[in-house]
Structure 1
Protein backbone atom coordinates (compact mmCIF):
# COMPACT_ATOMS: atom_id res chain seq x y z
CA UNK A 1 0.00 0.00 0.00
CA UNK A 2 1.24 3.46 -0.84
CA UNK A 3 1.86 5.38 2.37
CA UNK A 4 1.38 8.71 0.58
CA UNK A 5 -2.42 8.37 0.73
CA UNK A 6 -3.15 5.96 3.60
CA UNK A 7 -6.92 6.69 3.63
CA UNK A 8 -7.46 5.89 -0.06
CA UNK A 9 -8.93 2.59 -1.20
CA UNK A 10 -6.93 0.27 -3.43
CA UNK A 11 -8.42 -1.33 -6.52
CA UNK A 12 -7.16 -4.09 -8.77
CA UNK A 13 -7.86 -4.11 -12.50
CA UNK A 14 -7.25 -7.05 -14.80
CA UNK A 15 -6.41 -6.32 -18.45
CA UNK A 16 -6.76 -8.71 -21.37
CA UNK A 17 -3.81 -9.30 -23.72
CA UNK A 18 -5.08 -6.81 -26.32
CA UNK A 19 -5.36 -4.04 -23.73
CA UNK A 20 -1.92 -4.85 -22.30
CA UNK A 21 -0.41 -4.62 -25.78
CA UNK A 22 -2.07 -1.24 -26.34
CA UNK A 23 -0.80 -0.01 -22.96
CA UNK A 24 2.70 -1.24 -23.75
CA UNK A 25 2.56 0.57 -27.11
CA UNK A 26 1.71 3.83 -25.31
CA UNK A 27 4.30 3.12 -22.62
CA UNK A 28 7.17 2.53 -25.02
CA UNK A 29 6.15 5.33 -27.41
CA UNK A 30 5.36 8.09 -24.92
CA UNK A 31 6.72 7.10 -21.49
CA UNK A 32 10.10 5.40 -21.98
CA UNK A 33 8.66 1.99 -21.18
CA UNK A 34 6.82 3.04 -18.04
CA UNK A 35 3.57 1.02 -18.08
CA UNK A 36 2.26 2.72 -14.92
CA UNK A 37 2.51 6.12 -16.63
CA UNK A 38 0.72 4.74 -19.69
CA UNK A 39 -2.10 3.41 -17.50
CA UNK A 40 -2.45 6.80 -15.79
CA UNK A 41 -2.53 8.57 -19.16
CA UNK A 42 -5.16 6.21 -20.58
CA UNK A 43 -7.27 6.47 -17.42
CA UNK A 44 -7.02 10.26 -17.57
CA UNK A 45 -8.15 10.25 -21.23
CA UNK A 46 -11.08 7.97 -20.39
CA UNK A 47 -12.19 10.09 -17.41
CA UNK A 48 -12.03 13.28 -19.49
CA UNK A 49 -14.06 11.66 -22.28
CA UNK A 50 -16.81 10.84 -19.78
CA UNK A 51 -17.07 14.51 -18.75
CA UNK A 52 -18.07 15.58 -22.27
Structure 2
Protein backbone atom coordinates (compact mmCIF):
# COMPACT_ATOMS: atom_id res chain seq x y z
CA UNK A 1 0.00 0.00 0.00
CA UNK A 2 1.36 3.40 -0.92
CA UNK A 3 0.61 6.83 0.46
CA UNK A 4 -1.12 7.66 -2.81
CA UNK A 5 -3.72 4.93 -2.28
CA UNK A 6 -4.73 6.37 1.09
CA UNK A 7 -7.44 9.02 1.18
CA UNK A 8 -6.31 10.94 4.25
CA UNK A 9 -6.97 14.48 5.32
CA UNK A 10 -4.07 16.43 6.75
CA UNK A 11 -4.70 18.64 9.75
CA UNK A 12 -2.55 21.01 11.75
CA UNK A 13 -3.09 21.29 15.48
CA UNK A 14 -1.60 23.91 17.75
CA UNK A 15 -1.13 23.13 21.44
CA UNK A 16 -0.79 25.63 24.24
CA UNK A 17 1.99 25.27 26.82
CA UNK A 18 -0.21 23.41 29.32
CA UNK A 19 -1.21 20.76 26.79
CA UNK A 20 2.40 20.36 25.63
CA UNK A 21 3.47 19.72 29.22
CA UNK A 22 0.80 17.01 29.52
CA UNK A 23 1.91 15.44 26.22
CA UNK A 24 5.53 15.49 27.37
CA UNK A 25 4.58 13.85 30.69
CA UNK A 26 2.74 11.09 28.83
CA UNK A 27 5.61 10.71 26.37
CA UNK A 28 8.15 10.40 29.17
CA UNK A 29 6.00 8.03 31.24
CA UNK A 30 4.61 5.73 28.54
CA UNK A 31 6.63 6.19 25.35
CA UNK A 32 10.30 6.51 26.29
CA UNK A 33 10.17 10.29 25.79
CA UNK A 34 8.73 10.00 22.26
CA UNK A 35 6.36 12.95 21.86
CA UNK A 36 4.95 11.84 18.49
CA UNK A 37 3.83 8.50 19.95
CA UNK A 38 2.16 10.31 22.84
CA UNK A 39 0.30 12.60 20.44
CA UNK A 40 -0.86 9.59 18.40
CA UNK A 41 -2.11 7.90 21.59
CA UNK A 42 -4.01 10.99 22.71
CA UNK A 43 -5.51 11.46 19.24
CA UNK A 44 -6.59 7.81 19.21
CA UNK A 45 -8.24 8.21 22.62
CA UNK A 46 -10.03 11.36 21.48
CA UNK A 47 -11.25 9.75 18.25
CA UNK A 48 -12.60 6.73 20.12
CA UNK A 49 -14.36 8.92 22.68
CA UNK A 50 -15.78 11.13 19.94
CA UNK A 51 -17.03 8.08 18.00
CA UNK A 52 -18.64 6.67 21.17
CA UNK A 53 -20.38 10.01 21.84
CA UNK A 54 -21.69 10.18 18.29
CA UNK A 55 -22.80 6.56 18.42
CA UNK A 56 -24.74 6.96 21.65
CA UNK A 57 -26.54 10.07 20.40
CA UNK A 58 -27.82 8.61 17.15
CA UNK A 59 -31.33 7.24 16.79
CA UNK A 60 -32.60 4.90 14.11
Q: Scaled by the length of structure 1, what TM-score is found? A: 0.80
Map of 2:36 onto structure 1: 36
Quote the Cα distance in structure 2 between the aligned partners of 1:49 and 1:15: 19
Deviation at 1:12, TM superposition (A): 1.7
Task: State the superposition RMSD in angstroms.
Answer: 1.5
> C-alpha deviations, 1:10-29, integer Å up to 9, x for none?
32211000000000010000
Count of residues in correspondence between the two structures? 49
2:3 corresponds to which of 2, 5, 9: 5
Of Structure 1 and Structure 2, which has the larger fraction of its residues in helix?
Answer: 2
Between 1 and 2, higher relative CO (CA 8 Å, sep ≥ 6) is seen in 1
Q: Which runs of 5+ in 1 are unaligned?
A: none
Q: Does 1:23 align with 2:7?
A: no
SS at match of 1:32: coil
SS at match of 2:3: coil
